[in-house]
Structure 1
Amino acid sequence: MPSSAIILDVEATPVRLSSPDKIYFPQLGLTKLDVAEYVMTVGPGLLAALQHRPTTLERWPSGVTEGLSAAVRPERRGDPFYQKRAPKGLPDGVETAEVTYPSGRTAVQVTPTRVADLVAMVNLGTLRFHAWPVTAPEVDLVDQLRIDLDPQPGTGIAEAAQAALELRRVLAEAGLESWCKTSGGRGLHVYSPVRPVDFIDARHAAIAIGRELSRRMPNQVTVNWWKEERGQRIFVDYNQMARDRLMASAYSIRPVSGAQVSAPLHWDEVAQVDPADFTVVTMQDRWDEMGDVWAPMYTSEPGDLGTALQWYERDAEAGEGEMPYPPDYPKMPGEPPRVQPSRARAGR
């Protein structure tokens, strides 16, 4: 049976950890305590990624079981789930902020400010932290542009890496400095700090940048929302910039048997990157050697999305304007019909 709780000293803050020897990753024999120690090691980097950002918690209270995926509403006790609202009984000092969802509903979410907050969330079974691209208290203004490079069937990390390197050049032409990380899976995420804009402008900028990238790599990259039109290309998921569409943060743990993590990269690592190299075990050595390779991003001068938004307006004038939102969204202004192209043709 799991042992009783222990108290961890997290930067001089005591944090209770229940069942520290509960197995979380059976294939590697990693326990809940191992996960907590990982978070304590990379804590400054993980906190930098989440600092004051409303955060959805992906909780796996029974550890990782292959074949399961997190749900919004778990069917059984112990099932993995996404917790959007701040958990009850938070330790003293954990800060929160209220966010508004596309439906108009609101919720109070945690906004981490201490490594101790992160370890307290690990105690609840949290493996992945999904932070909004906003900073409290300005929770309706995006200050991080995030581009998700999602490999489609027939492609993988090598193709995503090629796209990321070209994307870096596109972003530079738009006046934006960028940083790359693994998603924890087969894809790559590219971030740029930006001067605050609303969610619609941020999404439009992502659409325009994705279109520009796809023009330069038409056989390798697509922004087509419908899967039947993507082919064997890297999909630029522009809707990750829509309100409440979140990416796993840097250093978050993917709930797979190998305990892979979302690893910040130097750009000279991207071409040969292998996501399997970055795990709960190996990242602690990497941290000892390199520290947080994204640290310069957090002190960099935010870029301006003006050029990207000019690209969007240029494309709109040429007939390429708004694109479909996620299916759970209310109908948005100027949005084309949310009908799969093959079905639309069949219905004529």
Structure 2
Amino acid sequence: MPSSPPSVEIEVDDRVVKVTNPDRVYFPQAPGFEGGATKLDLVDYYLAVGPGIVNALYERPCMLHRFPKGLTGEPGEKVHQKRLPAGAPAWVETVELFFPRWKRTADELCVTELGAVIWAVQMSTVEFHPWNSRRADTEKPDEWRIDLDPGPASTYAGVRRAAHVAHEVLDDLGAVGYPKTSGSKGLHIYVRIAPDHGFPDVRRAARAFAREVERRAGGGVTTTWWKKDRDPAAIFVDWNQNTRDHTIAAAYSVRGLPDARVSTPIRWDEVDEADPRDFTIATVPERFARLGDLHADIDDHVFDIAPLLAWAERDEASGQDAPDEAEG
């Protein structure tokens, strides 16, 4: 009779999560882990940053990027999963979403406690990609996301420069931005907003902001949607990330890269020195223990997007932006 796969039981507050195949190597090139980082190492990471990842995901519909066999380098190794994986305990919460394109609904994970994060990791989740709205009204975003996405010929120095321009515009608006590394090659800035507008208006506001950053940068930054039309050395301010059902990796989410890189909150005074490659599951726990969650007070700084909507009306009236550009 074949033996059962090895497992360990993890206590998370008042929950117990059984983690199977804890020794499976997930990140073969993770620095600081002899032989690579395992599934259990991934669990330990998320336990170490628990308050941060829960704050980033709390009450938000969440798409999961699962790697059932770890990062193997094989085609199809990653599964993008909207529906909650089968077999979830009754205490793992969900939110029902409707997807007009497919004319069907799906129950997505909705994290309200750390145990749900660890259960998702048990189900081979590496990356957590939450919506920018919450369960109370999924059609009204409460988070505006600024995605600084480097082109194929751009440098991280260009990302840093674009971040400083974005920071300047945010300061002029009276908005408080919370930066983080993307965990890959770019940088994200989150702004808490009042959930008073639907996705189309938040997207219009994000595009108007991106246009202003592009103008002030005086080169090296673009808002051009089609890749074929962009300067490959420019930083793309991806305003379309604010479209309904578009998601990016959460703060403190590990990324599906062989070195186990983490999308990590940073201070504004760290932008010029912080290297995304330095933030991994080996280094971020100590940083979190020392600094805490740098996004912890984001809910205390809510911005009204009315000035950005006025900018959007100005740009649309001038013919600079077509209302349906890159919709969806």
Indicate the TM-score class for this superposition, using the shorter chain for normalisation: over 0.9
Q: Aligned pair 1:91/2:125, yes or no?
A: no
Q: Aligned pair 1:13/2:15, yes or no?
A: yes
Q: 2:59: which partner in 1?
A: 52
Query: Quick check: 4-13 or 108-117, which moved more?
Result: 4-13
Shift of 1:123: 0.3
TM-score scaled to structure 1, two decimals? 0.88
- Superimposed CA distance per residue, residues 26-68 of structure 1 (whole angstroms, 9 cap, x where no aligned partner): 2231111000000000011000000000000000010012365
Query: Quick check: 180-189 or 26-35, which moved more?
Result: 26-35
The 8 Å contact of residues 2 and 21 in structure 1, kept in 2 or not, is answered as no
| Aligned-residue identity in percent | 39
What secondary structure sits across from 1:128 in the alignment?
strand
What's the C-alpha RMSD, in Å, of the aligned pairs?
A: 1.6
CA–CA distance in structure 1, aligned partners of residues 291 and 205 of structure 2: 32
What secondary structure sits across from 2:45 in the alignment?
helix
CA–CA distance in structure 1, aligned partners of residues 288 and 184 of structure 2: 20
The 8 Å contact of residues 128 and 254 in structure 1, kept in 2 or not, is answered as yes
- Superimposed CA distance per residue, residues 104-137 of structure 1 (whole angstroms, 9 cap, x where no aligned partner): 5321111001101000000011010000000112
Name which of 42, 48, 64 aligns with 2:49: 42
Aligned residues: 317
In structure 2, do the counterparts of structure 1 residues 42 and 308 end up closer, same or farther at CA, with 3 Å as the change threshold? same
What secondary structure sits across from 2:271 in the alignment?
helix
In structure 2, do the counterparts of structure 1 residues 3 and 81 end up closer, same or farther at CA, with 3 Å as the change threshold? same
Q: 1:168: which partner in 2?
A: 167
CA–CA distance in structure 1, aligned partners of residues 72 and 164 of structure 2: 35
Q: 2:320: which partner in 1?
A: 320
The 8 Å contact of residues 184 and 253 in structure 1, kept in 2 or not, is answered as yes
Q: 1:278: which partner in 2?
A: 279
CA–CA distance in structure 1, aligned partners of residues 4 and 312 of structure 2: 55
The 8 Å contact of residues 221 and 237 in structure 2, kept in 1 or not, is answered as yes
The 8 Å contact of residues 130 and 248 in structure 1, kept in 2 or not, is answered as yes
The 8 Å contact of residues 158 and 272 in structure 1, kept in 2 or not, is answered as no
The letter for the 2-side match of 1:6 is: V
The 8 Å contact of residues 97 and 108 in structure 2, kept in 1 or not, is answered as yes
- Superimposed CA distance per residue, residues 174-231 of structure 1 (whole angstroms, 9 cap, x where no aligned partner): 3321110000011000100001110000100110000000001131110001112210
What secondary structure sits across from 1:141 in the alignment?
coil
What secondary structure sits across from 1:273 in the alignment?
coil
In structure 2, do the counterparts of structure 1 residues 2 and 166 end up closer, same or farther at CA, with 3 Å as the change threshold? farther
- Superimposed CA distance per residue, residues 221-262 of structure 1 (whole angstroms, 9 cap, x where no aligned partner): 100011122101100111111111101001111111111010
In structure 2, do the counterparts of structure 1 residues 105 and 238 end up closer, same or farther at CA, with 3 Å as the change threshold? farther
The letter for the 2-side match of 1:111 is: C
The 8 Å contact of residues 53 and 132 in structure 1, kept in 2 or not, is answered as yes
Q: Which runs of 4+ in 1 moved over 3 A?
A: none
CA–CA distance in structure 2, aligned partners of residues 54 and 225 of structure 1: 26
The letter for the 1-side match of 2:14 is: A
Alignment of 1:87-236 (within 5 A): 87-103=85-101, 104-196=103-195, 197-231=197-231, 232-236=233-237
CA–CA distance in structure 1, aligned partners of residues 131 and 170 of structure 2: 21
The 8 Å contact of residues 101 and 243 in structure 1, kept in 2 or not, is answered as no
What secondary structure sits across from 2:55 in the alignment?
helix
The 8 Å contact of residues 165 and 213 in structure 2, kept in 1 or not, is answered as yes
The 8 Å contact of residues 28 and 259 in structure 2, kept in 1 or not, is answered as no
Shift of 1:3: 5.1
The letter for the 2-side match of 1:51 is: Y
CA–CA distance in structure 2, aligned partners of residues 37 and 13 of structure 1: 15
Q: 1:66: which partner in 2?
A: 73
CA–CA distance in structure 2, aligned partners of residues 270 and 260 of structure 1: 17
Shift of 1:13: 1.4
CA–CA distance in structure 2, aligned partners of residues 38 and 133 of structure 1: 24
Q: 1:335: which partner in 2?
A: none
Q: Aligned pair 1:266/2:267, yes or no?
A: yes
Q: 1:336: which partner in 2?
A: none
What secondary structure sits across from 2:303 in the alignment?
coil
Gaps of 5+ in 1: 69-73, 330-348
CA–CA distance in structure 2, aligned partners of residues 286 and 2 of structure 1: 37
CA–CA distance in structure 2, aligned partners of residues 171 and 133 of structure 1: 19
Shift of 1:2: 9.3
CA–CA distance in structure 1, aligned partners of residues 94 and 257 of structure 2: 29
The letter for the 2-side match of 1:304 is: D
CA–CA distance in structure 2, aligned partners of residues 208 and 67 of structure 1: 40
What secondary structure sits across from 1:271 in the alignment?
coil
In structure 2, do the counterparts of structure 1 residues 315 and 268 end up closer, same or farther at CA, with 3 Å as the change threshold? same
